Structure 1
Amino acid sequence: MGAVMPKNASADAGRLDFAALETLRLVHQLGSFTAAAETLDVNQSAVSYTIAKLRRHFHDPLFVREGGRQVPTDRCEHILGQVVEILDMLDDIAQPEAFDPKLSDQKVTIACNYYERILMIPKIVSALRRQAPRLSVEVINALGDGHLRLLRREADVLVGPFGRTESGFHSRRLYTEEYACFMDPEHPLAGKTLDVESYLALKHVYINYGGSWKSAYVHELEAAGHTLSPTITVPSPAGLGTLLANSDLVATMPRRLGQTMSGRLVLGESPFRGSFDLSVVWTARTNASAMHRWLRQVILETCRG
């Protein structure tokens, strides 16, 4: 690779390669030498050596440890602001211009959550295997910060209610979903229209997905000045069909997901529908890649409604 020699860097500081700058970017994204080493599949000492070399080159510590994380200095932020676009361009150049899915034995990683794993991933995987039988597919949790998994290069695409508008991200809408109430057929309000007062008085099972994530219907409810007081809180929709059966509990969850859970549950219209979009999201790094364009097209054709 060629060298990048910043202004004011001494001539004896040594040549600076793009691999070192890529390591700098990865530590910046992950906030950890250890995590960067795991992502690069190298020893932590190799990452430490590279950062030490960069510190000498730029005459700056680049990172300081605060609260268990490697926090970038202002100089580090400035350097990355200058070179990130170059690194992305090099990634694009390194990508093959053509891609034949029938011959590919590469690996693709999809970040998503429970909803997508139940309703979308089976169709996506089936389509991928038909077109690329030698392809390896990994599905990982997105939780509430799946975009970070894209930035950390832990995932190739992100599927779910995660549309991004910031610079460096691209997204395409798949379809629109909304929330509904689900309850046992013997529930006193089964099949009845729920107004706000009767809805809030229900014994709710609240799905807390973790992190900073909050369901769209909760945002809508709180924006109207109300507070939800759950009877039971669970970490995911898994097993809700069994939990709701033969009980006076009610769960508000995405309509399509609730309809797959149990034929015995009754769907009721919620006064807070919290409409939201499901999207496929990716970064500028993979935007021009032939393989990634094919992967995104398969997802769009399989899931778009």
Structure 2
Amino acid sequence: MSKLDLNLLRVLQILLEELNVTLAAERMHLSQSAVSKHLARLRDMFNDQLFERTAQGLKATPRALELAPQLHLIIQQLEQLTRPTAFEPKKSKRQFTIHLLDTAYSLTFPFFMPELLNKAPNLRLKTKTWNPNSLDELLKCEIDIGIACREWDKRSPIHIDDIPSELNHVELIKEHSVCLVREHHPALKTKWDLKTFLHYRHIQVSFGGMEQWLLDDVLNLQQLTRDIAIDMPDFHSAMSLCEQSDLILCAPARYAEKLASSFKIRVLDIPVNIEPGAYVLLWNKHFEQDPGHQWLRELIINNVNEQSVLGI
């Protein structure tokens, strides 16, 4: 490790993220030849090829993949050492990475982004849809913030009390689910109860890495199941299908109510007793005293909580 050049670690990190010399060079404002020279030094430093060229770009070697999480943590710690003890939003060009559920975008970003853009015009947010790896990435400090769904119902496998101890969290928005049916759906002509609810086939939307809803967990405890006709990746497409068929769709209430006016659908209560859940802001305790991270967290929490209280 006597040959270790800390300045090259950032080059390796960006190459691992981009898997493309041209894109990495553009991102670092360097020439491709300069990046290639850095890569040659990195290969010598780690005694490994690190990347192989393919028709699709660069492919990381097993050694490079092994280095990736350690590299991220080392660079993060170095940035912590050189970061000012006070955060100045107006001057900051820092980038934060946020993973969040698709349904959380419209319930959060419109309420805190205007203030962020005004107070920190050069700050950058990189967002990605919450997925099965997001919690692990939070635990490894590979992302800054997560916005995910957690339940208060004790029957849920993702109960809010089961959030890993390495993470801190704040409840942003209370949430419950509703049932959507098309206008003139035959179910509207009968008594709306559990029997009617289960009589019709359903659209299932799998999001945030959840294969099954709390609703289904609760029904299973009663030896009951929904008849799922189709599993879809997003609610907008699911609502369009719901509008054109007798299929029933269950969706988070706040998100559904925002979209429902664009479709000819009716909103009904789900005839199953389930305690409301919540969208929660998650972050690793490693960032607890980080001034910039703290500023962003408080900005999101204050603005989103305010709109939640107002019922927007």
Structure 2: distance between partners of 1:41 and 1:272: 57
Report if the CA contact (8 A) 1:192-1:268 is conserved: no
Which of 268-277 and 16-25 deviates more? 268-277
Classify the secondary structure of the residue corresponding to 2:211: coil
What's the offset of the Cα at 1:282? 4.1
Q: Could you state the TM-score of these two structures normalised by the residue count of structure 2? A: 0.66
Task: Mark the CA change 1:55 to 1:276 in structure 2 (over 3 Å): closer, same or farther.
Answer: farther
Partner of 2:297: 296
C-alpha change, 1:268 and 1:114, in structure 2 (3 Å) is same
Name the Cα RMSD after superposition: 4.6
Aligned ranges 1:82-97 → 2 under 5 Å? 85-97=73-85
Decide which of 87, 91, 95 is 1:99's aligned counterpart: 87
Whole-angstrom CA distance in 1 between matches of 2:138 and 2:22: 15
| TM superposition shift of 1:124 | 1.6
Deviations 1:126-179 (A, max 9, x none): 34346x173556564415255688799997533333897386x65444244332
Percent of pairs identical after alignment? 21
Shift of 1:105: 6.2
1:184-223 C-alpha deviation (Å, 9 max, x unpaired): 453333495542x54343232332448x543533762696
Taking the TM superposition and a 5 Å limit, the aligned residue runs for 1:235-254 are 235-238=233-236, 243-245=241-243, 247-254=245-252
Tell me whether 217-226 or 138-147 shows the greater mean CA deviation.
Answer: 217-226
Q: Are 2:129 and 1:142 aligned?
A: yes
For residue 62 of structure 2, the aligned residue among 39, 60, 72 is 72
Q: Counterparts of 1:159 and 1:104 in 2: how far apart (Å)? A: 26
1:201 corresponds to 2:202: no
| Shift in CA distance, 100/80, structure 1 to aligned 2, threshold 3 Å | closer
- Contact 2:179 2:251 survives alignment (8 Å): yes
Q: Which amino acid aligns with 2:187?
A: L
TM-score (norm 1): 0.67
Q: How many residue pairs get matched?
A: 285
Gaps of 5+ in 1: 6-14
User: Residues 260 and 22 from structure 1, CA distance in 2 versus in 1: closer, same or farther, beyond 3 angstroms?
Assistant: same
Q: Distance in 1 between matches of 2:220 and 2:32?
A: 47
SS in structure 1 of the partner of residue 147 of structure 2: strand
Inter-partner Cα distance in structure 1 for 2:135 and 2:236: 24
Q: How many angstroms apart in 1 are the aligned matches of 2:114 and 2:206?
A: 30
What's the secondary structure of 1:174's corresponding residue? strand
d(CA) in 1 for partners of 2:257 and 2:15? 43
How far off its partner does 1:303 sit?
Answer: 2.3
Write 1 or 2 for the structure with the bigger share of helix.
Answer: 2
Alignment counterpart, residue 112 of structure 1, candidates 100, 104, 108: 100
SS of residue paired to 1:279: strand
